[in-house]
């Protein structure tokens, strides 16, 4: 798989930054990040960028709480603690909104919302094959939020991916969608009530054994699901001010120490700013280190200018799962650990 991706990148022109970001992505069905103009809404018609795959297996968790607990244990090697589970519960909102098209019903069961990340748990019922070798997704996905959370007057990015789609423990086809948006650390998805409209187009699958990555349409149509995102708190926020971390020049692969300013850590992401001159120096992969030695690494991320004068290069990276910052003792970039105070 990795060799296929290297061959693909040899055939396309892409910036070193894009190559580096994509090389760090999990190999699952990934939707591209978009750059969008300033409007009242955010919207995307999503096309498949990478030929990755959503996990397909029977017996996956049927709740967001269960999925986060499973993901935590797989990535850290230890069970999720009660404190971490309580944080997930605090960030999770029930929804229960459904739409039926062509005898297939899609329900937004619940959502987990952080500063700039939203996980949506979908339940899908109807006449379709449910097999372990099939991987499921929607051919198109589009989501609008009103009011628009993006208040930064520079081009920004957002994207979707499908961490898993499987027949869950309750026997229902269950799909997890993750939405991420680069808000340059200025606003949060939780700072105001927002009306959300999710539009899904064509339920499709491909067969891992027979058809490779060729999509087969299971049900045509468009499902429109409208629901509120309630305001709330994303848990504790740690503001670190300025720190110095190792970073790599993506062209030369050299490493040096650079300054990151306005560093803020939340339960779901980390944001920081570096100068425009340093934007080609990418900080080494970061992680949160817990008191018991557990490390929760970043997943995807994106960057944009925070100011219209293009002097402040802002980045956001998302943790694989929400993290209770009360359990965190250090922030790590590469092999460099920065101790965090209790406050």
Q: Give a yes or no: residue 38 inside a domain.
A: no
Q: Give a yes or no: residue 119 inside a domain.
A: yes
Q: Give a yes or no: residue 91 inside a domain.
A: yes
- Output the domain CATH number for residue 291: 2.60.40
Q: In whole angstroms, what is the distance from residue 55 CA to residue 24 CA?
A: 18
Residue 224 shares a structural domain with residue 276: no
Q: Give a yes or no: residue 7 inside a domain.
A: no
Q: Could you give the C-alpha distances from 145 to 83, 160, 218, 229, 337, in angstroms and in order?
A: 30, 14, 28, 9, 37
Range(s) of the domain holding residue 318: 238-339
Task: Give the pLDDT score at 24.
Answer: 34
In the chain, how many H helices and how many E strands? 4, 18
Task: Give the pLDDT score at 212.
Answer: 57
Q: How far is CA 84 from the centre of its chain?
A: 18
- Consecutive sets of 10 residues in the chain, 343 residues long: mean pLDDT of each? 33 35 35 35 28 43 92 92 95 97 95 96 85 84 94 88 83 91 92 97 82 79 97 88 95 95 96 93 96 92 93 95 95 96 63
Q: How many domains does the chain have?
A: 2
Residue 282 shares a structural domain with residue 211: no
Residue 153 shares a structural domain with residue 258: no
Task: Give the pLDDT score at 343.
Answer: 52
Q: In whole angstroms, what is the distance from residue 226 CA to residue 117 CA?
A: 18
* Token pair of 248 as six digits: 């790599």
Q: Which of 229, 258, 289 is the last residue of a domain?
A: 229
Q: Give a yes or no: residue 28 inside a domain.
A: no
Residue 191 shares a structural domain with residue 309: no
Residue 63 shares a structural domain with residue 205: yes
């Amino acid at each position: 798989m990795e060799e296929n991706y290297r061959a693909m990148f040899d055939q396309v022109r892409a910036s070193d930054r894009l190559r580096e970001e994509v090389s760090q992505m999990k190999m699952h069905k990934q939707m591209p990040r978009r750059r969008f103009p300033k409007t009242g809404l955010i919207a995307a018609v999503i096309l498949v960028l990478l030929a990755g795959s959503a996990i397909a297996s029977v017996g996956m968790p049927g709740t967001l709480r269960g999925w986060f607990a499973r993901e935590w244990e797989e990535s850290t090697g230890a069970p999720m603690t009660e404190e971490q589970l309580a944080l997930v519960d605090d960030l999770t909102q029930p929804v229960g909104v459904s739409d039926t098209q062509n005898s297939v019903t899609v329900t937004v069961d619940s959502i987990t919302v952080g500063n700039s990340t939203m996980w949506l748990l979908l339940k899908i019922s109807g006449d379709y094959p449910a097999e372990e070798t099939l991987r499921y997704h929607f051919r198109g996905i589009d989501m609008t939020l009103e009011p628009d959370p993006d208040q930064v007057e520079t081009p920004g990015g957002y994207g979707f991916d499908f961490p898993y789609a499987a027949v869950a423990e309750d026997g229902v086809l269950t799909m997890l969608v993750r939405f991420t948006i680069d808000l340059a650390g200025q606003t949060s998805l939780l700072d105001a009530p927002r009306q959300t409209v999710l539009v899904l187009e064509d339920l499709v699958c491909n067969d891992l054994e027979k058809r490779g990555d060729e999509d087969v349409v299971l049900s045509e149509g468009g499902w429109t699901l409208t629901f509120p995102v309630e305001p709330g708190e994303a848990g504790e926020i740690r503001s670190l001010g300025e720190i110095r971390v190792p970073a790599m020049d993506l062209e030369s692969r050299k490493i040096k120490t650079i300054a990151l300013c306005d560093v803020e850590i939340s339960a779901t992401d980390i944001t920081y700013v570096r100068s425009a001159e340093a934007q080609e120096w990418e900080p080494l992969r970061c992680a949160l280190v817990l008191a018991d030695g557990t490390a929760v690494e970043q997943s995807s991320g994106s960057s944009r200018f925070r100011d219209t004068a293009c002097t402040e290069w802002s980045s956001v990276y998302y943790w694989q799962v929400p993290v209770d910052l009360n359990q965190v003792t250090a922030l790590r970039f590469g092999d460099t650990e920065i101790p965090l105070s209790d406050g």
